[in-house]
Amino acid sequence: MRIARIDIDEASLSAPSDQVEHERKVAMFDLIEKNSFVPEGVAEGQGPFDLRLALEDNRLVFDITGPDFARKIMLSLAPFKMMLRDYRLICESYYEALKNATPAQIESIDMGRRGVHNEGAELLAERLKGKVAIDHETARRLFTLVNALVRI
pLDDT digits over 1-40, tens only? 799 999 998 876 666 678 878 888 899 999 999 999 999 9
Cis bond leading into 48, ω under 30°? yes
**Above 90 in pLDDT, residue 76?**
yes
Query: What is the model's pLDDT at position 12?
Result: 67
- Distance (Å) of CA 2 to CA 74, 82, 131, 138, 142: 19, 29, 14, 10, 13
Domain that holds residue 115: 3-149
Query: What is the model's pLDDT at position 61?
Result: 96
| Reported pTM | 0.90
Q: For the chain, how many structural domains are there in total?
A: 1
Query: Which residue did the predictor score with more confidence, 11 or 117?
Result: 117
Q: What is the mean pLDDT of residues 107-129?
A: 96
